[in-house]
Homo-oligomer: A and B are copies of this chain.
Amino acid sequence: MNEKADKEFVKDICAQGTDFSQWYIDVVRKAELADYAPVRGCMVIRPYGFAIWENLQRALDDRIKASGHENAYFPLLIPESLLAKEAEHVEGFSPQVAWVTRGGDEDLEERLALRPTSEAIICSMYAKWIRSWRDLPVLINQWANVIRWEKVTRLFLRTTEFLWQEGHTAHRTEREAEEETLRVLDLYADFLHDVMAIPAFKGVKTEREKFAGAVRTYAVEALMPDGRALQAGTTHHLGQHFARVFDITYLEEDNQLHYVWQTSWGVSTRLMGGLIMVHGDDAGLKIPPRLAPIQAVVVPITFEKSKAEVGAAARELTTALQAAGVRVKLDDRDEYKPGWKFNEWELRGVPLRLELGPRDLAAGAVTAVRRDNRVKQQVPLAQVPAWVRAELEAIQRDMLAAATAYRDAHTRVATSRDDFYLLFQGRPGFVRAPWCGDGVCEDRIAEETGATIRFLPLATEAAAGEQCVGCEERAREWAYFAKAY
């Protein structure tokens, strides 16, 4: 590619306002986060995208471990008979399962599922491992790839293969299991908030939306700039459904055999999709500093005369930033012009750009440009490392504030059927509305408007005196509706 083609490549991103879906795909591909694979619905996560995922994974894994969980690894392949044991579970997942029918030179006697989720295989092991109350709780998490045969796919948001973590825990009491389910829900919401700069609502799913095999499903739901909600993570209270079919019992202190109480919970590479959408703009990505593989890029502005001097100062600055613990990159490629580099690093969402030219150097300063709000200022060279560290914190804070302001501005209330249906002629974001509590009504609303109940508040909010926005019968409680990914 020559430079002109390259420049156009960077610039050629569809505007969000023109076509948000196209903007999304352009950014994912042009920032080299991911690419389409030769198998339908599968993706390749490219090094830059994977570096963001690794930072995300590391930060989340630290929190999962700090809350007492251990990692393990269970097999990809699940015998059909095992997957079929829990009826609701298999019914929920079987349309999405990919099957191995041949291994080496032989046809298999029993088909093997590629895990769409691992409850079945993990329960079969817990039945062997758990014997006594002393073995409980079991608090295990796994990072793995899963396969779900999807009809419509979109890079990161819905792919045939994706990466995720899935926690699977077993407890002595229902209360302990419920506490675990809510503890991890908080963990997810805090992680989104603190690390990803994404404000998410916590809530409980309706029967229609819950996990296949769960007693109750909780979710964190975030709002995207196109007005759609994204389910960012779920935690499931599994009750004793799986324990009964997989026979996971333990000897209590009372010397009786009891079934365990279980939970499962997960987030996936789908979070990458949320990250891209929540923060991005027409110039490309904006990566929150805590996740950015490159937090600051140093771009020397060189002319023949001052090249050596500016180059040396840029290297020195880079070293000083590294020493201060900043993930910094020096972009001293000769073959690209500064303007091209500015575009590229903006596309890639690097939080801070530090320009260093002869005039900056003469002033003993750098020109710093924030990616999130484009604010530009000169910073004295000696102060740069400390300033960058503080500014990265400020960017993280400001990005969260901006996302929160957007989410709050797009969380509305509708109390009449007409208002509700009018709002959902568009994509208004979240709409808090009274609901009768009936799944049939919920289905009809979904069919007629495309909006689903994303969650019910954790503490049920009674809607006394209100009418359901679907059937206009007496409302039972407030629910949060949205069109969703």
Contacts and interface: CB of A to CB of B under 8 A. Distances in A.
Interface of A: 1, 35, 37-39, 42-47, 49-51, 53-54, 70-79, 82, 95-105, 111-112, 114, 121, 124-125, 128-129, 131-132, 134, 140, 144-145, 147, 149, 151, 160-161, 163, 335
A71 B51 contact: yes
Given A39-B77, A47-B140, 11 more contacts: A35-B129, A37-B121, A44-B72, A44-B74, A51-B70, A51-B71, A77-B147, A95-B104, A99-B100, A100-B100, A104-B151
A50 B70 contact: yes
Given A44-B75, A75-B39, A77-B39, A96 B100 contact: no
A82 to B, nearest CB: 6
Nearest to A54: B71
Contacts of A111: 102
Given A50-B71, A71-B54, A97-B104, A161 B114 contact: no
A72 B47 contact: yes
Contact of A125 (B37, B49, B104, B132): B37
B104 A96 contact: yes
The winner among A75, A78, A124, A125 for most chain B CB atoms within 10 A is A75
Contacts of A147: 76-77
Nearest to A32: B129
A121 B38 contact: yes
A46 B53 CA distance: 24
Contact of A78 (B39, B45, B75, B105): B39
What is the count of identical protomers in the complex?
A: 2
A72 B46 contact: yes
Contacts of A38: 78-79, 82, 121, 124
A110 to B, nearest CB: 9
Contacts of A129: 35
A6 B121 CA distance: 26
A131 B75 CA distance: 38
B43 A75 contact: yes
A161 B77 contact: yes
A95 B105 contact: yes
Contacts of A98: 77, 100, 102-104, 112
A105 B150 CA distance: 11
B99 A101 contact: yes
Contacts of A131: 1
A277 to B, nearest CB: 21
